[in-house]
Amino acid sequence: MVKLRLKRAGKKRAAFYRIVASDSRVKRDGEYIELVGTYNPINGEVNLQNELALKWLKDGAQPTDTVRNILSKNGILKQLHEFKLSTKSSKESKPKKAKAAAPKKTVAKKTTKSTESSAEKEVKPKKTVAKKTTTTKEDK
């Protein structure tokens, strides 16, 4: 799974992060697929390539919590939401194509015991069990 996450750079106590698209199995500072932007937490500066971030989100990349907050503050998640709504509404508004008058195939339905009529049920003979009769003195 591809994730949009932070890759740490910079020196000790002066963190600097790159926002990257990377495989979720790769370690935090390991290799990445594509650089999407940068984030400097010291002064709060964010540089993002909006088109790249949007492309990865449309392709199904999952942002981490911190990256999700950064993307939300820059309006990228709103753009993604609007894109999803527009594609959903365009799918609904397209008229369905009328199918040609093709002969319909009939499919035999499986019948269950509850749907079979009583006439169609197989009649199984009941097992008869010999009952023990007890006789008392009064019966004799």
Q: Which residue has the tokens 């002064």?
A: 43
Query: Which two structure tokens, joined as six digits, stand for 105?
Result: 């195939």
- Please tell me the pTM assigned to this model: 0.61
Q: What is the pLDDT along the chain (140 residues), one digit of tens a residue?
A: 999 999 999 999 999 999 999 998 999 888 889 999 999 999 999 999 999 999 999 999 999 999 999 999 999 999 989 988 888 887 777 655 655 555 666 666 555 555 555 555 566 666 666 666 666 666 65
Quote the CA–CA distance of 8 and 3 in Å, as a whole number: 15
Quote the CA–CA distance of 21 and 53 in Å, as a whole number: 9
- Domains, the chain, ordered by start: 2-90 (3.30.1320.10)
In 3D, which of 58, 64, 61 has the Cα closest to residue 81? 58
